[in-house]
Amino acid sequence: MPQYSMPPQQQQYSGNPYMNYAPSAAPVAPVAPAKQEKPPMTLEEFTKQQAAAKPKPVAKAPMKLKAGGSGVSIKIGSGKSKSVSIGGTKSAAKPATLSATSETETSQTAQTSAPTATDASSQSSTPVDSKPPTPVNNAPAKSQTTDSPAESAAEVVNADQVVTQQAADVDEALLEELYNEKDHLSIIFMGHVDAGKSTMGGNILLQTGAVDKRTMEKYQKEAKDSGNESWWLSWALDTDKDERDKGKTVEVGRAPFETEKRRYTILDAPGHKAYVPNMIAGAAQADIGILVISARRGEYETGFERGGQTREHAMLAKSQGIDRLVIAVNKMDDITVEWSKERYDECTTKLLNFLKSLGYNKSTDITCMPVSAQTGYGLLERVPTDVCPWYNGPCLLEFLDNVSLTDRKLRGPFMMPISERRRDIGTIVEGKVESGVAKKGDSLLVMPNKVQVELLTIYSETEAEINNAACGEQVKLRIKGIEEEDVQIGFVLCSLANPVHTVTKFEAQISFIDLKSIITAGYSCMMHVHTAIEEVVFAELLHKLEPSTGRKSKKPPQFAKQGMRVIAVLQTTQNVCLEPFSEHKQLGRFTLRDQGMTIAIGKVTKLL
């Protein structure tokens, strides 16, 4: 029987958060006593200057800080200590152009409405991998300049001193407020079409009270009148009329709910192959993946063994940084299954072997459980023993309430890839905060077009007005200083002091997983990175990596084919917001697609 107690998963932040400051090698001799040159600034003077330039917040509670390694342990008041990662400081990003970062399967339409929990999207879907529209501003980005020898000479600052200085700039009262709140977790339901993803999400919303019973009774009546009575639970997430009529999810459905321990956002991914780009955008915002498979005879085989989306969704989840999976074996109550352990084992054994080949650890990264989305068995409560006597593991929400979270980068520079935007008494942008904390009144930067904005209002996914937007949260922000039409999905809202980098050329490590033929320099395809979609060209193949050792070849390869790993230089047609994978994983991993197929996954190794 599989193990159901999951050890905590730890994820190290491997960036370099330190800047160097060193005095000049020798002082400059004075030309005349009246014009003696100012001696170089010492570390102590530099620290005092920085402290004087930035007002420190009023601390309302004592904070103990223990520095070491790649993170810090914080203890506020008498509460228990928590570990957070420290975002690194880096040079200011280059000026960049306005990039139209949307694949033409989604066309954006402006709306004038208040933020809504059910459906804030303003695009229609025609999912095909094609080239992006003409940019609004095609001015070339300025190249990065190198410092002169005198400017580049820096004094080496002790790591603990940098940590202490960064900690002093954090509002301790704000941290205490954040730590006293419930954790937030974004979960994505994915899998083949008709596996029961939307039904499962709808039943969870019903049982947790996120959707009131009167509304669900209305959906049930409407579904019955339309001849689709079994779809009524899915209507809590499938709010579009076409989706309801066809029983097929197109856009990524979103809905919040809450338990006694945590707050959640459901991301309901479309299961049809034509809408994979929408699924990728949803996976980029998720913390944990729920891979829903149907145990019904014939449906499991269609989804997994006959070119269905079970395999591709699992692979895309891994490429988008989802390192924890729940395998929800659905429709166990079906007449062809009847809670059969043999059928359950048949489905999970094949899938677990495939997930292992993707890099998942079967013991620590994956939990399997039998469920029935229609009846609700195994969702909020464990399956009764008289129904399923052979399973004694946790139900879905029991597992999610107790799974350990990776460290959130609360001290990093603020970064939020934009997943939605619209006009509503100003400009509203939505997304998941990937780093740092922002609060009302902050001045932020929209990249890559480098427009400074003011943060006016912050909304949670329940439409409540809140004070802070913290790492890991799904939020809606009202900003001032930019028009809605000048913001594109894939832009990044970020810190003024440490803006995200924008580039048109970068070096990456790429693994080819599905190529019909070989590719050479000059090959173009579509790149999905965080919420952005950009056309990319292979400018140069630099090295082939040995399969067993990962050693780089001395000579550049003439071509790349399926199964190969290479180091290549990629060039985008528009400026795109990127970070090296070693410094920020979520802004440094990407997926490559061509002609409706996922051909490769990669990670950014160097910005050029």
* pLDDT digits 0-9 by tens, 142-176: 334 344 444 433 433 344 443 344 444 455 555 44
User: Comparing 181 with 172, which gets the higher pLDDT?
Assistant: 181
| Lowest pLDDT segment from 241-250, 268-277, 554-563 | 241-250
Spacing of C-alpha 488 from chain mean position: 17
Mean pLDDT over 48-70 rounds to 43
Domain with CATH 2.40.30.10 in the chain: 415-495, 501-607
Mean pLDDT over 209-235 rounds to 78
pLDDT at 21: 36
pLDDT of 340 over the 90 cut:
yes
What pLDDT band is residue 273 in, cutting at 50, 70 and 90?
A: confident
pLDDT at 417: 96
pLDDT at 229: 66
What pLDDT band is residue 449 in, cutting at 50, 70 and 90?
A: very high
Query: Alpha carbon of 249 to those of 107, 123, 231, 236, 271: distances in Å?
Result: 17, 14, 12, 12, 7
Task: Select the highest-mean-pLDDT range: 230-234, 325-329, 553-557.
Answer: 325-329
pLDDT at 61: 41
Percent over 90 (pLDDT), the chain: 48
DSSP conformation letters of 238-302: --SHHHHHHT---S-EEEEEE-SSEEEEEEE---SGGGHHHHHHHHTT-SEEEEEEE-STTHHHH
The label of the residue with tokens 């094609």 reads 130
Q: What would the pLDDT profile of 544-580 be if each residue is shown by its tens digit?
A: 999 888 899 989 999 999 999 999 999 999 999 999 9
Mean pLDDT over 401-429 rounds to 87
User: Comparing 492 with 241, which gets the higher pLDDT?
Assistant: 492
DSSP letter at 408 equals P
| Lowest pLDDT segment from 171-180, 233-242, 243-252 | 171-180
What does the alpha-carbon distance between residue 168 and residue 65 come to, in Å, rounded to a whole number? 10
| Radius of gyration for the chain, computed over Cα atoms and rounded to the nearest angstrom | 25
Q: What would the pLDDT profile of 75-97 be if each residue is shown by its tens digit?
A: 344 344 444 443 433 433 433 33
Mean pLDDT over 381-405 rounds to 94
Mean pLDDT over 497-505 rounds to 95
pLDDT at 239: 66
What does the alpha-carbon distance between residue 385 and residue 15 come to, in Å, rounded to a whole number? 48
Query: Alpha carbon of 214 to those of 117, 155, 228: distances in Å?
Result: 17, 66, 19
pLDDT at 173: 53
Q: What would the pLDDT profile of 577-602 be if each residue is shown by its tens digit?
A: 999 999 999 999 999 999 888 999 99
What does the alpha-carbon distance between residue 205 and residue 270 come to, in Å, rounded to a whole number? 18
pTM > 0.75: yes or no: no
Q: Considering Cα of 217, then 474, then 397, then 247, what sign does the dihedral take?
A: positive
Is 270 within 8 Å of 191 (Cβ atoms)?
no
- β-pair partners for 234: none
Mean pLDDT over 352-372 rounds to 93
Mean pLDDT over 448-453 rounds to 95
Domain with CATH 3.40.50.300 in the chain: 184-402
pLDDT at 593: 94
pLDDT of 266 over the 70 cut:
yes
Mean pLDDT over 41-60 rounds to 49
Q: Please give the CATH architecture assigned to the domain spanning 415-495.
A: Beta Barrel (2.40)
> How buried is 241 (Cβ within 10 angstroms: 0-12 exposed, 13-18 middle, 19+ buried)?
exposed
Phi, psi of 167 (to 5 degrees): -65, -35
What is the widest separation between alpha-carbon atoms in the chain?
Answer: 98
Is 573 within 8 Å of 533 (Cβ atoms)?
no
**Residue 81 burial (CB count, 10 A):** 13
What does the alpha-carbon distance between residue 94 and residue 503 come to, in Å, rounded to a whole number? 8
What pLDDT band is residue 486 in, cutting at 50, 70 and 90?
A: very high
pLDDT of 253 over the 80 cut:
yes
Question: Shortest CA distance to 247 belongs to which of 265, 262, 232, 267?
Answer: 232
SS3 495: strand
Percent over 70 (pLDDT), the chain: 68
Helices and strands (H, E) in the chain, number of each type: 12, 26
pLDDT at 508: 97
User: Comparing 226 with 591, which gets the higher pLDDT?
Assistant: 591
What pLDDT band is residue 240 in, cutting at 50, 70 and 90?
A: low
pLDDT at 131: 43
What pLDDT band is residue 57 in, cutting at 50, 70 and 90?
A: very low
Question: Shortest CA distance to 282 belongs to which of 109, 86, 125?
Answer: 125
User: Comparing 191 with 216, which gets the higher pLDDT?
Assistant: 191
pLDDT of 522 over the 80 cut:
yes
What pLDDT band is residue 214 in, cutting at 50, 70 and 90?
A: confident
Report the CATH number of the 184-402 domain: 3.40.50.300
- What is the pLDDT of the chain when averaged over all its residues? 76
What pLDDT band is residue 134 in, cutting at 50, 70 and 90?
A: very low
CATH label, 501-607, candidates 3.30.450.20, 2.40.10.340, 2.40.30.10, 2.60.120.260: 2.40.30.10
pLDDT at 448: 96
pLDDT of 306 over the 80 cut:
no
